[in-house]
Amino acid sequence: MTLTADTAPAVPRTNRSLASVVFVDGVRTPFGKAGGAYAETRADDLVVRVIRELLRRNPGLAPAEVDDVAIAAATQSGDQGMLLGRSAALLAGLPASVPGYSIDRWCAGAMTAVTTVAASVAVGTNDVAIAAGVEHMGRHPIGDGLDPNPRFLAERLVDPAALSMGATAENLHDQFPALTKQRADAYAAASQHRTAKAYANGLIQPDLVPMATRSAEHGWGLLTVDEPPRPDTTIEGLAKLRTPFRPYGRVTAGNSSGLNDGATGAIIAAEDVAIAHGLPRKMRMVTYAFAGVGPEVMGYGPVPSTQKALDHCGLTIDQIGLIEINEAFAVQVLAFLDHFGIADDDERVNPMGGAIAVGHPLASSGIRLMINLARSFERHPEVRYGLTTMCIGLGMGGTVIWENPHHPDYRPALDGSLAGAA
């Protein structure tokens, strides 16, 4: 075939072999209690609000310049279904030329949305993308509509406990006797107090987008802060809570994250594109990794995923100055800390509190971790590297390592590498 002007290959949009990828900006709705403030609010409206706020805060990025939209939800049905990445993008006012898709890795949905679009940016097929996550656990309870294959249990492919996240947390207590209920309760109380302190110091509020709420009984309202925190939590009060997953167990509602509603979102871009558009660069991605563990001890997942990510880039845990780990259960955090020789009260870990206080709306939480880390990087320019990590249902962990652009040794990697200057 003879090539004509109409059939000739297009000029490549970029000559990058591997681009430096940056976290431009991230926002989230305040998190609500399942059945609480967002009881009569649609899940897709939560994430639409986030997308619109990202665009409002970053006027240097024209909506038509967004190359793709990836939105995660753990339960992809009802108002979290209908190809959410595409439908929410249209609802948010992005032009029809901007594609979108849905993504699922249970609790690590938003984290996977970020790493997936980051990979496309790194290889040069996209310049800018939006990653987001949403979960309305009031409308879509854990396990709603699931139909596990009977082979899982009949053929002993997984332990029955794997289908109950609380039971997997009890299994971690069994496997590591040093992870006592007393330690878990102390960690949980500290998470509540760190969150309260962060709110008092105005650290959380700048990344929250106020969300309208509707109630047939009470009319319209506006949620401007997270609904779940209990700043008056005490270790003594936590010790009295019942253990719902087994008699005389150690996992309680107080040392676990709650059932929550909320949405998060982020703009991910090539570093040179962000600079050209005058967009902020809050973090640079160094590397990421996902790993699997036994589904019955899914909370251990962040250990191998973090070690795998560290190995990818040649860093050690001692070089990581800030750690944001999702607090699905306190025991899961403690297992991670013990493995890496980190103290329970180490100030590098979740300095603004975590999911035990603010909540864990499943697929949205990965980006909340990134938002917190970016905020802490800004306050701690002496820290060069940080990480975000979380456990994932059915026995996985995910970890993303980031570099702080406020560090004095930071240099833009414009000819780049996904790994930056590790």
Which amino acid appears at position 324 of this protein? E
Residue 239 has phi, psi (to 5 degrees) of -65, -20
- Are residues 51 and 88 in contact, defined by beta-carbon separation less than 8 angstroms? yes
Q: What pLDDT does residue 15 have?
A: 52
For 158-204, what is each residue's pLDDT tens digit? 888 888 999 999 999 999 999 999 999 999 999 999 999 999 999 99
* pLDDT band per the 50, 70, 90 thresholds, residue 143: confident
Q: What is the pTM of this model?
A: 0.94
> Across residues 7-31, what is the average pLDDT?
75
Q: What pLDDT does residue 421 have?
A: 43
DSSP three-state, residue 4: coil
Q: What pLDDT does residue 370 have?
A: 99
* pLDDT band per the 50, 70, 90 thresholds, residue 51: very high
Separation between Cα atoms, residue 211 and residue 40, nearest integer Å: 12
Q: What pLDDT does residue 153 have?
A: 82
Q: What is the distance, to the nearest Å, from the Cα of residue 355 to the centroid of all Cα atoms in its chain?
A: 11
Instruction: Using a pLDDT cut of 70, give the percent of the chain over it.
Output: 94
As given in the structure block, the two tokens for residue 282 are: 């809050």
- Are residues 381 and 406 in contact, defined by beta-carbon separation less than 8 angstroms? yes
Q: What pLDDT does residue 142 have?
A: 86
Closest among 132, 143, 144, 142 to 46, alpha carbons compared = 132
Q: What is the chain's alpha carbon radius of gyration, rounded to the nearest angstrom? A: 21
DSSP string, 110-152: HHHHHHHHHHHHHHTS-SEEEEEEEEETTTS-TTTT----THH
Given 136, 313, 360, 380, which residue is catalytic? 360
Max CA distance (Å), the chain: 80
Q: Let me know if 277 is a catalytic residue.
A: no
Whole-number average pLDDT of the chain: 93
Given 313, 391, 406, 407, which residue is catalytic? 391
Q: Let me know if 107 is a catalytic residue.
A: yes
Instruction: Using a pLDDT cut of 90, give the percent of the chain over it.
Output: 87
Lowest mean pLDDT among 25-34, 267-276, 325-334, 407-416: 407-416
Q: What pLDDT does residue 10 have?
A: 44
Q: What pLDDT does residue 158 have?
A: 84
* pLDDT band per the 50, 70, 90 thresholds, residue 6: very low
Which amino acid appears at position 104 of this protein? D
Angle 142-146-149 from CA coordinates, rounded to 5°:
135
Q: What pLDDT does residue 420 have?
A: 44
For 68-89, what is each residue's pLDDT tens digit? 999 999 999 999 999 999 999 9
Closest among 283, 302, 280 to 292, alpha carbons compared = 302
**pLDDT above 70: residue 246:** yes
Q: What pLDDT does residue 18 have?
A: 85
Q: What pLDDT does residue 157 have?
A: 85
Angle 278-284-287 from CA coordinates, rounded to 5°:
150
- Are residues 103 and 366 in contact, defined by beta-carbon separation less than 8 angstroms? no
> Across residues 298-317, what is the average pLDDT?
98
**pLDDT above 50: residue 11:** no
Q: What pLDDT does residue 29 have?
A: 98
Residue 110 has phi, psi (to 5 degrees) of -65, -35
Helices then strands, counting H and E runs in the chain, come out as 12, 12
Q: What pLDDT does residue 1 have?
A: 36
Q: Let me know if 391 is a catalytic residue.
A: yes
E runs forming strands in 202-345: 211-215, 219-223, 260-270, 283-292, 320-325
Which residues sit opposite 211 in a β-bridge? 223
**Domains located in the chain, CATH noted:** 21-140+257-403 (3.40.47.10)
Give exposure, 64-96, as e/b (b: 16+ Cβ within 10 Å).
eebbbbbbbbbbbebbbeeebbbbbbebbebee
**pLDDT above 80: residue 418:** no
- Distances 156 to 151, 314, 375 between C-alpha atoms, Å: 7, 38, 44
Given 107, 136, 140, 173, which residue is catalytic? 107
As given in the structure block, the two tokens for residue 80 are: 């979290």
